[in-house]
Amino acid sequence: MTTAIEVKTVNKEFVLRHTRSIKEALVWLIRGRKGDLSEKFHALKDVSLDVQQGETVALLGFNGSGKSTLLKHISGVMIPDSGTVQTRGRVAGLIEVGAGFHHDLSGRDNVYLNGAILGMTETEIDERFDSIIEFAEIGQFIDTEVKFYSSGMYLRLAFSVAVHTDPEVFLVDEILAVGDEPFQRKCIAKIKELAADGKTLVVVSHDLDLVAKICERGVLMDHGQVIFDGPIDDAVDQFRQNS
Ligand SMILES: Nc1ncnc2c1ncn2[C@@H]1O[C@H](COP(=O)(O)OP(=O)(O)OP(=O)(O)O)[C@@H](O)[C@H]1O
Protein backbone atom coordinates (compact mmCIF):
# COMPACT_ATOMS: atom_id res chain seq x y z
CA MET A 1 0.00 0.00 0.00
CA THR A 2 1.23 3.50 -0.78
CA THR A 3 0.90 6.32 1.69
CA ALA A 4 -0.80 9.35 0.10
CA ILE A 5 -0.74 11.65 3.13
CA GLU A 6 1.64 11.50 6.06
CA VAL A 7 1.07 13.91 8.93
CA LYS A 8 3.67 13.55 11.69
CA THR A 9 3.31 15.15 15.14
CA VAL A 10 2.06 18.45 13.75
CA ASN A 11 1.62 21.40 16.07
CA LYS A 12 0.07 24.73 15.17
CA GLU A 13 -0.46 27.78 17.33
CA PHE A 14 -2.33 30.91 16.33
CA VAL A 15 -1.72 34.33 17.78
CA LEU A 16 -5.06 35.51 19.09
CA ARG A 17 -4.13 38.98 20.29
CA HIS A 18 -1.12 41.06 19.32
CA THR A 19 -2.00 44.26 21.11
CA ARG A 20 -2.02 44.97 24.82
CA SER A 21 -2.86 47.99 26.90
CA ILE A 22 -0.12 50.55 27.58
CA LYS A 23 -0.09 49.40 31.21
CA GLU A 24 0.47 45.75 30.24
CA ALA A 25 3.21 46.76 27.78
CA LEU A 26 4.91 48.89 30.51
CA VAL A 27 4.85 46.04 33.03
CA TRP A 28 6.29 43.76 30.38
CA LEU A 29 9.10 46.26 29.62
CA ILE A 30 9.88 46.86 33.31
CA ARG A 31 10.09 43.09 33.88
CA GLY A 32 12.76 42.91 31.20
CA ARG A 33 10.51 41.79 28.31
CA LYS A 34 9.96 38.42 29.95
CA GLY A 35 7.17 36.21 28.67
CA ASP A 36 5.06 36.63 25.63
CA LEU A 37 2.82 39.64 25.17
CA SER A 38 0.61 37.95 22.61
CA GLU A 39 -2.06 35.44 23.49
CA LYS A 40 -1.76 32.13 21.67
CA PHE A 41 -4.13 29.33 20.82
CA HIS A 42 -2.93 25.78 20.27
CA ALA A 43 -5.07 24.68 17.30
CA LEU A 44 -3.27 21.38 16.51
CA LYS A 45 -1.52 19.35 19.19
CA ASP A 46 0.82 16.55 18.09
CA VAL A 47 -1.49 15.45 15.31
CA SER A 48 -0.34 12.37 13.39
CA LEU A 49 -2.28 10.76 10.59
CA ASP A 50 -1.39 8.40 7.76
CA VAL A 51 -3.77 8.09 4.84
CA GLN A 52 -3.21 5.36 2.28
CA GLN A 53 -3.79 5.88 -1.42
CA GLY A 54 -7.45 5.34 -2.27
CA GLU A 55 -8.70 5.79 1.30
CA THR A 56 -11.73 7.97 1.95
CA VAL A 57 -11.45 9.81 5.25
CA ALA A 58 -13.85 12.11 7.07
CA LEU A 59 -12.57 14.60 9.65
CA LEU A 60 -15.23 14.98 12.33
CA GLY A 61 -15.47 17.16 15.40
CA PHE A 62 -17.15 20.14 16.98
CA ASN A 63 -16.65 23.72 15.79
CA GLY A 64 -13.12 24.84 16.42
CA SER A 65 -11.70 21.36 16.98
CA GLY A 66 -9.07 21.86 14.27
CA LYS A 67 -10.51 20.04 11.23
CA SER A 68 -10.09 22.86 8.71
CA THR A 69 -6.68 23.74 10.12
CA LEU A 70 -5.56 20.14 9.57
CA LEU A 71 -6.97 20.15 6.04
CA LYS A 72 -5.11 23.38 5.28
CA HIS A 73 -1.87 21.74 6.43
CA ILE A 74 -2.53 18.77 4.14
CA SER A 75 -3.22 21.11 1.21
CA GLY A 76 -0.05 23.04 1.94
CA VAL A 77 -1.65 26.45 2.48
CA MET A 78 -0.55 26.32 6.12
CA ILE A 79 2.87 25.36 7.43
CA PRO A 80 3.14 23.60 10.81
CA ASP A 81 5.07 25.16 13.70
CA SER A 82 6.60 21.73 14.25
CA GLY A 83 6.11 18.32 12.71
CA THR A 84 5.86 17.43 9.03
CA VAL A 85 3.22 16.91 6.36
CA GLN A 86 3.94 14.97 3.20
CA THR A 87 1.62 14.23 0.33
CA ARG A 88 2.04 12.12 -2.76
CA GLY A 89 0.66 13.16 -6.15
CA ARG A 90 -1.41 16.16 -7.15
CA VAL A 91 -3.47 17.60 -4.31
CA ALA A 92 -6.54 19.67 -5.12
CA GLY A 93 -9.88 20.46 -3.62
CA LEU A 94 -12.04 23.02 -2.04
CA ILE A 95 -10.90 24.50 1.20
CA GLU A 96 -11.99 28.11 1.02
CA VAL A 97 -14.39 29.34 -1.61
CA GLY A 98 -12.61 31.77 -3.86
CA ALA A 99 -9.11 31.04 -2.57
CA GLY A 100 -6.81 31.37 -5.56
CA PHE A 101 -9.39 33.45 -7.44
CA HIS A 102 -8.65 37.02 -8.45
CA HIS A 103 -11.67 39.29 -7.94
CA ASP A 104 -10.95 41.66 -10.81
CA LEU A 105 -10.53 38.91 -13.39
CA SER A 106 -13.30 37.22 -15.33
CA GLY A 107 -14.43 33.65 -14.66
CA ARG A 108 -12.57 32.60 -17.81
CA ASP A 109 -9.25 34.16 -16.69
CA ASN A 110 -9.70 32.70 -13.23
CA VAL A 111 -10.09 29.21 -14.66
CA TYR A 112 -6.63 29.64 -16.18
CA LEU A 113 -5.18 31.24 -13.06
CA ASN A 114 -6.64 28.69 -10.66
CA GLY A 115 -5.87 25.79 -12.98
CA ALA A 116 -2.23 26.89 -13.13
CA ILE A 117 -2.07 27.24 -9.33
CA LEU A 118 -3.39 23.69 -9.05
CA GLY A 119 -0.68 22.44 -11.40
CA MET A 120 -2.37 22.23 -14.82
CA THR A 121 -0.54 23.32 -17.97
CA GLU A 122 -2.16 25.83 -20.34
CA THR A 123 -2.77 23.08 -22.91
CA GLU A 124 -4.47 20.91 -20.26
CA ILE A 125 -6.73 23.81 -19.30
CA ASP A 126 -7.50 24.54 -22.99
CA GLU A 127 -8.52 20.91 -23.48
CA ARG A 128 -10.68 20.81 -20.35
CA PHE A 129 -12.07 24.35 -20.52
CA ASP A 130 -15.45 23.47 -22.08
CA SER A 131 -15.94 20.62 -19.66
CA ILE A 132 -15.06 22.90 -16.70
CA ILE A 133 -17.64 25.48 -17.79
CA GLU A 134 -20.25 22.86 -18.52
CA PHE A 135 -19.88 21.27 -15.08
CA ALA A 136 -19.96 24.68 -13.35
CA GLU A 137 -23.07 25.77 -15.29
CA ILE A 138 -21.86 29.35 -15.22
CA GLY A 139 -23.20 30.02 -18.71
CA GLN A 140 -23.01 33.58 -19.96
CA PHE A 141 -21.32 34.76 -16.73
CA ILE A 142 -18.01 33.20 -17.71
CA ASP A 143 -16.73 36.56 -19.00
CA THR A 144 -18.01 38.53 -16.00
CA GLU A 145 -15.55 39.56 -13.28
CA VAL A 146 -15.86 37.10 -10.43
CA LYS A 147 -16.39 39.89 -7.86
CA PHE A 148 -19.94 40.00 -9.23
CA TYR A 149 -20.49 36.27 -8.68
CA SER A 150 -22.70 34.94 -5.92
CA SER A 151 -21.01 32.62 -3.39
CA GLY A 152 -22.71 29.66 -5.08
CA MET A 153 -21.31 30.67 -8.47
CA TYR A 154 -17.82 30.95 -6.96
CA LEU A 155 -18.20 27.48 -5.52
CA ARG A 156 -19.37 26.04 -8.83
CA LEU A 157 -16.39 27.36 -10.72
CA ALA A 158 -13.86 26.54 -7.99
CA PHE A 159 -15.19 23.00 -7.56
CA SER A 160 -15.24 22.42 -11.29
CA VAL A 161 -11.64 23.57 -11.78
CA ALA A 162 -10.50 21.47 -8.82
CA VAL A 163 -12.08 18.22 -10.06
CA HIS A 164 -10.77 18.81 -13.57
CA THR A 165 -7.16 18.86 -12.36
CA ASP A 166 -7.44 15.08 -12.03
CA PRO A 167 -5.99 15.08 -8.51
CA GLU A 168 -4.66 12.03 -6.69
CA VAL A 169 -5.67 13.56 -3.38
CA PHE A 170 -8.93 15.51 -3.16
CA LEU A 171 -9.75 17.65 -0.12
CA VAL A 172 -13.21 19.05 0.59
CA ASP A 173 -14.18 21.37 3.41
CA GLU A 174 -17.72 22.11 4.54
CA ILE A 175 -18.11 24.71 1.81
CA LEU A 176 -20.35 22.55 -0.35
CA ALA A 177 -23.01 24.04 1.88
CA VAL A 178 -23.15 27.26 -0.16
CA GLY A 179 -24.19 25.42 -3.31
CA ASP A 180 -27.87 24.89 -4.06
CA GLU A 181 -29.27 21.38 -3.73
CA PRO A 182 -29.00 20.24 -7.34
CA PHE A 183 -25.38 21.40 -7.47
CA GLN A 184 -24.61 19.78 -4.12
CA ARG A 185 -25.98 16.50 -5.47
CA LYS A 186 -23.82 16.87 -8.54
CA CYS A 187 -20.71 17.55 -6.41
CA ILE A 188 -21.42 14.59 -4.16
CA ALA A 189 -21.84 12.35 -7.20
CA LYS A 190 -18.52 13.63 -8.52
CA ILE A 191 -16.80 13.05 -5.16
CA LYS A 192 -18.16 9.48 -5.09
CA GLU A 193 -16.88 9.01 -8.64
CA LEU A 194 -13.40 10.15 -7.57
CA ALA A 195 -13.50 7.72 -4.65
CA ALA A 196 -14.63 4.88 -6.94
CA ASP A 197 -11.71 5.71 -9.24
CA GLY A 198 -9.34 5.06 -6.34
CA LYS A 199 -8.54 8.68 -5.50
CA THR A 200 -7.67 9.59 -1.94
CA LEU A 201 -10.32 11.71 -0.28
CA VAL A 202 -10.33 13.80 2.89
CA VAL A 203 -13.64 15.45 3.70
CA VAL A 204 -14.59 17.83 6.51
CA SER A 205 -18.30 17.86 7.18
CA HIS A 206 -20.89 18.15 9.90
CA ASP A 207 -23.31 16.17 7.76
CA LEU A 208 -22.73 12.80 9.44
CA ASP A 209 -25.15 10.86 7.23
CA LEU A 210 -23.45 12.18 4.13
CA VAL A 211 -19.89 11.38 5.24
CA ALA A 212 -21.00 7.93 6.37
CA LYS A 213 -22.10 7.32 2.77
CA ILE A 214 -18.94 8.71 1.14
CA CYS A 215 -16.14 7.77 3.55
CA GLU A 216 -14.91 4.50 4.99
CA ARG A 217 -12.75 5.96 7.75
CA GLY A 218 -13.53 8.61 10.36
CA VAL A 219 -11.06 10.71 12.31
CA LEU A 220 -12.59 12.45 15.30
CA MET A 221 -10.93 15.61 16.53
CA ASP A 222 -11.32 17.42 19.81
CA HIS A 223 -9.47 20.53 20.95
CA GLY A 224 -6.78 20.08 18.30
CA GLN A 225 -6.17 16.39 18.96
CA VAL A 226 -7.19 13.18 17.26
CA ILE A 227 -9.33 11.32 19.79
CA PHE A 228 -10.62 8.53 17.57
CA ASP A 229 -9.52 7.04 14.26
CA GLY A 230 -11.33 4.06 12.81
CA PRO A 231 -14.26 2.85 10.70
CA ILE A 232 -16.63 5.68 9.81
CA ASP A 233 -19.67 4.15 11.55
CA ASP A 234 -17.74 3.83 14.82
CA ALA A 235 -16.43 7.40 14.49
CA VAL A 236 -19.94 8.75 13.87
CA ASP A 237 -21.31 6.75 16.85
CA GLN A 238 -18.54 8.06 19.08
CA PHE A 239 -19.15 11.64 17.91
CA ARG A 240 -22.90 11.34 18.50
CA GLN A 241 -22.26 9.99 22.01
CA ASN A 242 -20.05 13.02 22.75
CA SER A 243 -22.74 15.44 21.53
N1 LIG B 1 -5.83 32.11 11.11
C2 LIG B 1 -6.23 31.91 12.36
N3 LIG B 1 -5.90 32.76 13.36
C4 LIG B 1 -6.29 32.54 14.63
N5 LIG B 1 -7.02 31.50 15.02
C6 LIG B 1 -7.38 30.62 14.09
C7 LIG B 1 -7.03 30.78 12.71
N8 LIG B 1 -7.53 29.72 12.01
C9 LIG B 1 -8.18 28.96 12.91
N10 LIG B 1 -8.10 29.48 14.15
C11 LIG B 1 -8.65 28.92 15.39
O12 LIG B 1 -8.25 27.56 15.46
C13 LIG B 1 -9.32 26.76 15.95
C14 LIG B 1 -9.58 25.62 15.01
O15 LIG B 1 -10.18 26.16 13.85
P16 LIG B 1 -10.68 25.24 12.66
O17 LIG B 1 -11.24 26.15 11.62
O18 LIG B 1 -9.60 24.31 12.27
O19 LIG B 1 -11.85 24.41 13.34
P20 LIG B 1 -12.91 23.43 12.70
O21 LIG B 1 -12.84 22.16 13.48
O22 LIG B 1 -12.71 23.34 11.23
O23 LIG B 1 -14.26 24.17 13.03
P24 LIG B 1 -15.66 24.31 12.24
O25 LIG B 1 -16.41 23.05 12.47
O26 LIG B 1 -16.29 25.49 12.91
O27 LIG B 1 -15.34 24.58 10.80
C28 LIG B 1 -10.50 27.71 16.15
O29 LIG B 1 -10.60 28.04 17.52
C30 LIG B 1 -10.16 28.93 15.34
O31 LIG B 1 -10.67 30.09 15.91
* Reported ipTM exceeds the 0.90 cut: yes
Whose C-alpha lies nearest to ligand 1, atom 4?
Answer: 14
Round to whole Å and give the CA distance between 94 and 79.
18
What distances in angstroms separate CA 129 from CA 8, 99, 104, 120, one per listed residue? Answer: 37, 19, 20, 11
HEC states along 50-73? EEECCCEEEEEECCCCCHHHHHHH
Intra-chain end-to-end CA distance of the chain, in Å: 35
Q: Give pLDDT tens digits for 96-136.
A: 766 678 899 999 999 999 888 888 899 999 999 999 999 99
Within 13 Å, how many C-alpha atoms sit on residue 47's CB side?
36
**Nearest to 149, CA basis, from 200, 105, 210, 209:** 105
Residue 178: per-residue pLDDT: 67
Q: Is the CB of 18 under 6 A from ligand 1?
A: no
**How far apart are the CA of 88 and the centre of ligand 1, in A?**
26
User: Domain range spanning residue 175?
Assistant: 3-242
Report the predicted TM-score, pTM, of the whole model to 2 decimal places: 0.86
Beta bridge partners of 145: 106
Q: Is the CB of 67 under 6 A from ligand 1?
A: yes
Probe ligand 1: pick from 69, 72, 95, max atoms within 8 Å of CB?
69
Q: Within the chain, which residues score under 50 in pLDDT?
A: none
CATH number, domain of 95, equals 3.40.50.300
Residue 130: per-residue pLDDT: 94
Count of domains for the chain: 1
